[in-house]
Amino acid sequence: MGARSFGLFLRSQRQWAAKPLIQEAANRFRDACREHNFAPHQASWHSYSTMCLCFKFQQILPHGSYLLNCGSPDPVVLEKSRATLVDELKRCEMLGLVYYNFHPGSTCGVISRDACMDLIAESINQAHKETTYVISVIENMCKQGNTIGGDFQELRGIIDRVKDKSRIGVCLDTCHAFAAGIVGSHLDRHENIGRGKIGLDGFRRIMNDPRLDHLPMILETPETDYGVEIALLNKLCSS
């Protein structure tokens, strides 16, 4: 289908329980990545930028569990979220993945937004202590309900609280960014490229912005022929 990056889930995204990732399966995944020029991480690489230069920017971005709330005011949910965060970062390491994308969390209408950001950053800091190199990529949200991250200043607030700045990044979800805007609905409703409110002109601007060169772009559109959407986006690059 012409893809140069792809996303995946590391385990079931809708339940807490998960079977452990066995090394044999991880090895098969790494082998498949090498075969198709999606480079798995190697300990000899000193930085991700070095890896990108060597492998022409073909990248993989796994998505975290939908159940995660690393800023939950509920101690039970917070503990489960933190354990899952560590587990998924370790799965990334086994698979040779460098990025890990997840939704920051929610106040649940119980605690302040600042207190929630404190908990989210604390969760990330603890997870980084138990893992080695994976970059935690926090996703912007659409301001639905009590979620954190619809305001870019909240993402900045989390990043400011994370100790290891080399292991924190941001994923820009175009649907979430649009929905969170002044005229946005604040509802998370994804649509196929060109059929939603952003329109083809919006994606034309994105595809031709040099600041976004060499970053992985992942489709979260309703299930369709992704090859057609990839071809459309590539066509927008030259238009």
Domain assignment present for 229:
no
C-alpha span between 207 and 67 (Å, rounded): 31
C-alpha span between 228 and 239 (Å, rounded): 17
Considering the chain, what percentage of its residues have pLDDT values greater than 70?
89
- Mean per-residue pLDDT for 205-213? 89
Domain assignment present for 48:
yes
The domain that contains 57 carries what CATH number? Answer: 3.20.20.150
Which residues does residue 170 pair with via DSSP β-bridges, in sequence order? 138
The pLDDT, as a whole number, for residue 1 is 73
48 pLDDT higher than 60:
no
Number of domains in the chain: 1
Give phi and psi for 166, each to the nearest 5.
-75, -10
Domain assignment present for 222:
no
C-alpha span between 128 and 135 (Å, rounded): 9
Which residue segment(s) compose the domain that 128 sits in? 5-189
* 3 state SS of 238: coil
C-alpha span between 188 and 182 (Å, rounded): 15
170 pLDDT higher than 80:
yes
**How do residues 122-160 score in pLDDT, each as one tens digit?**
999 999 999 999 999 999 999 989 999 999 999 999 999
Domain assignment present for 209:
no
- Computed from CA positions of residues 202, 203, 208, 210, in that sequence, does the dihedral angle turn out positive or negative? positive
Q: Residues with Cβ < 8 Å from 70, sequence gap 6 or more? A: 78, 81, 82, 85, 102, 104, 105, 119, 120, 123, 124
- Mean per-residue pLDDT for 152-175? 96
Instruction: Please state, rounded to an integer, the average pLDDT across all residues of the chain.
Output: 88
The pLDDT, as a whole number, for residue 94 is 95
Reading the block at residue 67, the tokens are 């159940």
C-alpha span between 185 and 176 (Å, rounded): 10
Q: Would you say 233 and 203 are in contact if contact means Cβ atoms under 8 Å apart?
A: yes
Domain assignment present for 232:
no
Domain assignment present for 114:
yes
Domain assignment present for 219:
no
Instruction: Indicate the angle between helix axes 23-35 and 75-95, nearest 10 degrees.
Output: 50
Which residues does residue 99 pair with via DSSP β-bridges, in sequence order? 135
Domain assignment present for 162:
yes
